[in-house]
């Protein structure tokens, strides 16, 4: 069947909520994807920061196949071994105490928000608490997650949303301080803003927010869905700063392709927040996703993935800086580890589309940023290949 036929069928049957690129992917191998025509693409998007180990990793695949042969689902009415092991590994990697597994990053945000509200309810004996979120943030598209997403374009068609959310400016501590009142129960932010344009938190800002939360008995929620799981060179981005959250969220590379997310909390939050009956999920934390998370965390530790990211990220930064210096319509590079963005005065969507013609997959962030979130296993030769392919596009631009 031709690519055009596949796309025509998709447009006829699938709800049109994505403006997809004209690409029908068939399979992957390592850091490369292949379309239904057999064309090869160097992947610097990793399924939006999901495929940490690239594609067709035999050890990972064998672990999932083995679990399929045992049992895939049992519900949370019972214990299962894979998720117990996965929770132990995730708690150890994060330094957090309690884990709740969800089906997605958005669900992880929903659970984190509920946990913060329940904590404040237990503390104060009443509801009606408020949350401070950040402008230009992105936390998901369900009603609760959308409510704390700092982009009015996403929110307006679905209002009224969850009440009691106020928006401060990222990396502006005074704007956070100005919004705190007796009703505030949590501050939520991405340690590195992703969709908003690849902005890492400054150390002054993150430590300042932590201090404000401690002073006012407010919970700090850090969204590590895109920037976590080794992508910045630490297992979680907040570990660069030495600023531990009260609640954190994870997803994307947590399952390396299997739909799974999690929210984690300290013991002190767990003691005063969600209890039996407060929260639940049918699929979350089933044996199949547990096997995936357990294997991903085992491989990341054994393969020293964070050390590899620390080694390769400076080279990626160097090559991207060279591009910025070479083209006057590229104005800035920013990022942390293997989550990088390049600001362009020319349409980034057009650049990403043209890159496909050269066999390169890159994506965008916000209105003017090319986003680079490759598999964490990339080598210098892949960075060089990406640079050469992108140069051909930029010359045409």
Query: By residue range, what is the domain housing residue 350?
Result: 3-56+304-396
Tally of domains in the chain? 2
- Are residue 122 and residue 32 in the same domain, yes or no? no
- Residue-wise pLDDT for 305-322, tens only, equals 999 999 999 999 999 999
- Are residue 202 and residue 264 in the same domain, yes or no? yes
- Are residue 182 and residue 291 in the same domain, yes or no? yes
- Residue-wise pLDDT for 310-362, tens only, equals 999 999 999 999 999 999 999 999 999 999 999 999 999 999 999 999 999 99
Please indicate, yes or no, if residue 63 is contained in any of the structural domains.
no
Model pLDDT, residue 3: 87
The C-alpha atoms of residue 371 and residue 43 are separated, in whole angstroms, by: 12
Query: What is the number of residues in the chain?
Result: 397
Specify the pTM. Answer: 0.97
Tell me the CATH number at 9. Answer: 3.90.1150.10
The C-alpha atoms of residue 100 and residue 377 are separated, in whole angstroms, by: 28
- Residue-wise pLDDT for 70-87, tens only, equals 999 999 999 999 999 999
Please indicate, yes or no, if residue 312 is contained in any of the structural domains.
yes
> Please, what's the largest Cα pairwise distance for the chain?
63
232 confidence band (pLDDT: 50, 70, 90): very high
SS (H, E, C) 118-179: HHHHHHHCCCCCEEEEEECCCCCCCHHHHHCCECHHHHHHHCCCCCCEEEECCCCHHHHHCC
Kindly state the DSSP code that residue 44 receives in the 8-state scheme.
S
Segment holding 303, helix H or strand E: none
DSSP string, 100-120: EEESSHHHHHHHHHHHHHHHH
Phi, psi for residue 282 in degrees, rounded to 5? -75, -50
- Residue-wise pLDDT for 242-251, tens only, equals 999 999 999 9
**304: CB partners within 8 A, 6+ apart:** none
Percent of the chain whose predicted confidence (pLDDT) is above 90: 98
Model pLDDT, residue 2: 86
The C-alpha atoms of residue 276 and residue 9 are separated, in whole angstroms, by: 45
């Amino acid at each position: 069947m031709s690519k055009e036929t596949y796309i025509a069928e998709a447009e006829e049957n699938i709800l049109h909520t994505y403006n997809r690129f004209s690409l029908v992917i068939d399979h992957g191998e390592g850091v490369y994807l292949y379309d239904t025509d057999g064309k090869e693409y160097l992947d610097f998007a990793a399924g939006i920061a999901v495929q940490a180990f690239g594609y067709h990793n035999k050890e990972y695949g064998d672990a999932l196949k083995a679990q399929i042969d045992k049992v895939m689902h049992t519900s949370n009415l019972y214990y299962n071994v894979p998720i117990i092991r996965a929770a132990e590994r995730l708690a150890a990697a994060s330094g957090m105490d309690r884990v709740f597994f969800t089906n997605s990053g958005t669900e992880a945000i929903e659970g984190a928000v509920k946990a913060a509200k329940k904590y404040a309810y237990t503390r104060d004996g009443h509801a009606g608490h408020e949350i401070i979120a950040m402008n230009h943030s992105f936390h998901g598209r369900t009603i609760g997650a959308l409510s704390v997403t700092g982009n009015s374009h996403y929110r307006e068609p679905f209002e009224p949303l969850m009440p009691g959310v106020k928006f401060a400016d990222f990396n502006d501590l005074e704007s956070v301080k100005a919004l705190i009142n007796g009703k505030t129960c949590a501050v939520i932010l991405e340690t590195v803003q992703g969709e908003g344009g690849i902005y890492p938190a400054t150390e002054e800002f993150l430590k300042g927010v932590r201090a404000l939360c401690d002073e006012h008995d407010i919970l700090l929620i850090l969204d590590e869905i895109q920037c976590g799981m080794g992508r910045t060179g630490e297992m979680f981005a907040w570990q660069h700063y030495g600023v531990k959250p009260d609640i954190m969220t994870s997803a994307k590379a947590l399952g390396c392709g299997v739909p799974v997310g999690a929210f984690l909390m300290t013991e002190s939050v767990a003691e005063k927040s969600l209890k039996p009956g407060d929260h639940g999920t049918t699929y979350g934390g089933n044996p199949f996703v547990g096997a995936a998370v357990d294997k991903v965390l085992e491989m990341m530790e054994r393969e020293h993935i964070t050390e590899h990211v620390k080694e390769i990220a400076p080279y990626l930064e160097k090559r991207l800086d060279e591009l910025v210096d070479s083209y006057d319509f590229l104005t800035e590079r920013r990022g942390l580890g293997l989550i990088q963005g390049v600001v362009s005065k020319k349409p980034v969507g057009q650049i990403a589309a043209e890159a496909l013609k050269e066999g390169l997959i890159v994506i965008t962030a916000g209105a003017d940023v090319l986003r680079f979130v490759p598999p964490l296993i990339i080598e210098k030769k892949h960075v060089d290949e990406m640079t050469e392919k992108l140069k051909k596009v930029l010359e045409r631009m």
